[in-house]
Structure 1
Amino acid sequence: MKNILIAGAGKSSTSLIQYMLQHSEAQQWKVTVMDAHLEAIEEKIQHHPNGTAVAVDIHNEAERKQLVAEADIVLSVMPPHLHYLLALDCLEAGKHLITSSYVSEDIKALDGRASEQQLLFMCEMGCDPGIDHMSTAKIFDHIHEQGGEILSFKSCCGGLVAPESDTNKWHYKISWNPHNVVTAAQAGAIWYEDNKVIQRDYKDIFKYPGAFHIDGLEDLAYYPNRDSLTYKEIFNVPGISTFVRATLRHKDFMHGWQKLVDLNLTNEHDSHDAGSLTYRSWIAAVNQIASDELEQVLAEQYGFDDLAFELFRELGLLDNTPVSTAQEYLSSAVILQRVIEKAWKLEETDKDMIVMQHLVTYTLKEETIEHESSLIVKGENRLQSAMAKTVGLPMAILAHKILDGTIDTSAIHGVQIPIRKEIYSVVLPLLAAENIKFIDKEKALI
């Protein structure tokens, strides 16, 4: 039997683990899942005869190395900074590695060593990044094969709450790592628009939401995401006038989150005696405001309107509720994370939703055409979430097709992201069979 090692049993791992277990009988696989929390693994494995739960701290080098050495392939859904430990182990043991996270500088530096061993280290193999890369590459390649020239590209994706489970004023519930929700966009963004490089700092990211439309959904908006310029080069579209990758949220979320940023409530580097604070006094202390003047100052100096006050009150941020009953020092980011984990909890029967859309304008035979490619995936419940499905299944399918020889790792190896035809031509049709399917339409522009 071939042994598959899955590192991580968090929110995004459910579909990955279940896919591997569902195919384990026919493919003769043993599926080993490692995580620090045994109960999280057992919830996903559900006593499957081909599943093995291993509770281990990933920093335990001896145990980690042994698990990697015993595997035929390693799939990591651990926090991004921990992939490097597994990557080093994979080099030592001669194993392929698949992750859903952005390529880090540490991982990129391993490209030569991985290539020498004909090992595939496939990063960015989740939803965004992942499915977005594959679907974009498919569109771009098709246009180029016809002799077309790409003029502009805008890609938006968001992990959202489905309308039927939308029960709060922020129109958001947490389906992925809550720490990442709090720290999203802190690096700012840089992109290319109308032949100009545009850069925006974190303090202004949510201030200028872009308009977004997709059939059947209303009031969504986007903010530019990370470094689009790198992908402009990766996709080799030198003559393009606009290249933007962006994240979707409800417009009201954008409005409220900008106020959190303005008030420095997402700061990871400050420290507060949480046991001595209420939420109200925390905000006042961070911004050197007298607590009894808080609403007045928020309105006059921070531009709070009725909606902003409603959003803050719904989270209890203006209340005199204690931040903590323990004596502990916490950053503002951790305080806020604890608040939203309670307020935006995805309940057992709640459904989340992934929305993705690419807008590509190109010319072909003297005609200008707009290509719209849209994807909407809804979760079934908290465990069977759309986030888990769209993050986990691309990884699972790629691993499957490496193990059965469909994808030849002697021809594609080293540190990669999924933009090559050998990858997307195999994975996208199998994702479509799992109801992760794009709807494409085109129209001529006058």
Structure 2
Amino acid sequence: MKNILLFGAGRSATVLIDYLLQNAARQKWHVTVADHDLQLVKSKTGKSYYATPVALDVTDATAREPLLAEADLVISLLPPALHILVARDCLRFKKNLLTASYLDDEVKKLQPDIDAAGLLFLYEMGLDPGLDHMSAMKLIHSIEKKGGQIFSFKSYCGGLISPESNDNPWHYKISWNSRNVVLAGSAGAVYKEKGKVKEVSYEQLFDHNKTVQVPSIGKLAYYPNRDSLGYMQSYNLENIHTFQRATLRFPDFCEGWNALVKLGLTRDGDKQATDQLPYFQWASQQVTERTPGLSHEETIAQYLGVSSKSKVIRQLKFLGILNGEEINLGERSNADILQHLLDTKLKMESTDRDLIVMLHEIEFERRNLPTRINSFLIVQGENATHTAMAKTVGLPLGIMAKLLLSDKVGLKGLHIPILPEIYNPVLRELEDFDIKFVESFE
């Protein structure tokens, strides 16, 4: 029997755990799920004979090491900053590693050692990044195989809320790690458009009205996602004139989030005492000039340059930012406080359903004819536990785990999923779960 060790049992792990346990008897697997919250793990593994729930402080090396020593494959769904601990252990114990997180510079430094050990470390194997790479590379390779020359690539992805559960002025609910929502875009973004490199600061990121039309969904707003340029070489598209990866949201979300950024409420780092600190006072920390006679609500509206009756103010009020309630969370950063509000006010109710939307727009020329292919994916969740987010993050990892443990992939080294030996079998099995792209040509 082969042992799979999964670190992390949060929102994105649910469907992965289901998949691993559903395959465990046939594949002769045993699955150990380790998380700091033992009750959370037990709620997801149930009474399965093939699962061992473990309470673990992942920063405790003496607790980690025995689990790693017994594993045949390690999967990490930990917060990004903790992956390096697991990666170094996997090297030491000579274990293959799968994760949905971005490939970072710390892990890249390990590449010579990974190669020398003959291991596979596969990063970015979730939704975005992950499913976006696989579906895009399948299209790109297909176009190139037929002699097409690509000159523009745009890819969009968003975790949204389904229309029937869309009942708040943000048109958004938390279906994944809320910390990542708070910090999304904080490093700004860079991409290439019509031959020019565009750099967008965090302060400007949400301050635009760019939209894209998605079949059966309608108009969605988007903002550039991180460093798109870093993927041009990976996709072998270094010479094209437009290359952009972006995040999708309903338009009102971007307008409201832009206000939070302008108010400084997404900043992480410096902490402040919040006991007996009213939310409206916290929200006003950037406001240095005040007009006598204006209410707190009107003062913030004036600072933001909007009407006190605007939808932005309605959004802030919905989060509780403009009321006199005291925060009382101890020493916290702005990002901590905002995360608390999102978890409280934008949480998914048990019957809520989320929505994953992904869209690729590729322009190319073949036989002197300009052509554009649009490829889109829409996945709807079942409820607040079995979400579309958990499905699209977890299933690619689970399928890849099965391929590796069945010796159907002989790949070694440090990779992201851009190779046919990864994306072909994974995309093929995902169709069994109704995760399938629809393509159209213009």
Q: Normalising by the residue count of structure 2, what TM-score does the alignment of the two structures yield? A: 0.97
Aligned residues: percent identity? 42
Paired residue for 1:429? 428
**Contact persistence 1:113–1:414 (CA under 8 A):** no
Paired residue for 1:216? 216
Paired residue for 2:303? 301
Range that drifts further, 291-300 or 107-116: 291-300
C-alpha distance after superposition, 1:203-237 (max 9, x if no partner): 00000142111111134100000000010121111
Q: Offset of 1:298 from its aligned partner?
A: 3.0
2:213 aligned counterpart, secondary structure: coil
Q: Offset of 1:54 from its aligned partner?
A: 0.8
Among candidates 302, 311, 317, match of residue 313 of structure 1: 317
1:190 aligned counterpart, secondary structure: strand
Paired residue for 1:401? 403
Paired residue for 1:362? 364
Paired residue for 1:119? 119
User: How far apart, CA to CA, are the structure 1 residues paired with 2:84 and 2:194?
Assistant: 37
Q: Offset of 1:284 from its aligned partner?
A: 2.1
User: What one-letter code is carried by the residue in structure 2 that aligns with 1:307?
Assistant: K
User: What one-letter code is carried by the residue in structure 2 that aligns with 1:299?
Assistant: A
Q: Offset of 1:27 from its aligned partner?
A: 0.6
C-alpha distance after superposition, 1:21-77 (max 9, x if no partner): 000000110011011110111011011110100111111112211111100000000
Number of aligned residue pairs: 438
Paired residue for 2:96? 96
Paired residue for 2:247? 247
**Contact persistence 2:263–2:284 (CA under 8 A):** no
> Is it true that 1:138 corresponds to 2:138 in the alignment?
yes
Range that drifts further, 54-63 or 93-102: 54-63
Root-mean-square deviation (CA, aligned residues, Å) is: 1.3
> Is it true that 1:82 corresponds to 2:82 in the alignment?
yes
C-alpha distance after superposition, 1:289-344 (max 9, x if no partner): 559553343333321231111111111211111112x5x12111111111111111
> Is it true that 1:337 corresponds to 2:339 in the alignment?
yes
**Contact persistence 1:209–1:223 (CA under 8 A):** no
Paired residue for 2:438? 439
Paired residue for 1:413? 412
> Is it true that 1:38 corresponds to 2:42 in the alignment?
no
Paired residue for 1:279? 279
Unpaired runs of 5+ residues, structure 1, are none
Q: Offset of 1:354 from its aligned partner?
A: 0.6
**Contact persistence 2:159–2:354 (CA under 8 A):** yes
Paired residue for 1:188? 188
User: How far apart, CA to CA, are the structure 2 residues paired with 1:289 and 1:101?
Assistant: 42
Q: How does 1:150-189 map to 2 (within 5 A)?
A: 150-189=150-189
Range that drifts further, 74-83 or 212-221: 212-221
Cα distance change of structure 1 residues 289 and 271 upon mapping to structure 2, 3 Å threshold: farther
1:415 aligned counterpart, secondary structure: strand
User: How far apart, CA to CA, are the structure 1 residues paired with 2:96 and 2:269?
Assistant: 36
C-alpha distance after superposition, 1:168-198 (max 9, x if no partner): 0100000111111111100000000010000
User: How far apart, CA to CA, are the structure 2 residues paired with 1:311 and 1:62?
Assistant: 46
User: How far apart, CA to CA, are the structure 2 residues paired with 1:15 and 1:289?
Assistant: 50
Q: Offset of 1:271 from its aligned partner?
A: 2.5
2:133 aligned counterpart, secondary structure: helix
User: How far apart, CA to CA, are the structure 2 residues paired with 1:438 and 1:360?
Assistant: 14
Paired residue for 1:259? 259
**Contact persistence 1:351–1:379 (CA under 8 A):** yes
**Contact persistence 1:224–1:246 (CA under 8 A):** yes
Query: Deviation above 6 Å: which 4+ runs of structure 1?
Result: none
User: What one-letter code is carried by the residue in structure 1 that aligns with 2:313?
Assistant: F
Range that drifts further, 80-89 or 209-218: 209-218
**Contact persistence 1:379–1:386 (CA under 8 A):** yes
User: How far apart, CA to CA, are the structure 2 residues paired with 1:160 and 1:285?
Assistant: 30
User: What one-letter code is carried by the residue in structure 1 that aligns with 2:342?
Assistant: I
Q: Offset of 1:285 from its aligned partner?
A: 3.1
Among candidates 349, 352, 357, match of residue 351 of structure 2: 349
**Contact persistence 1:134–1:428 (CA under 8 A):** yes
Paired residue for 2:380? 378
**Contact persistence 2:374–2:440 (CA under 8 A):** yes
Q: Offset of 1:200 from its aligned partner?
A: 0.4
**Contact persistence 2:72–2:95 (CA under 8 A):** yes
Paired residue for 2:10? 10
> Is it true that 1:235 corresponds to 2:239 in the alignment?
no
User: What one-letter code is carried by the residue in structure 2 that aligns with 1:430?
Assistant: E
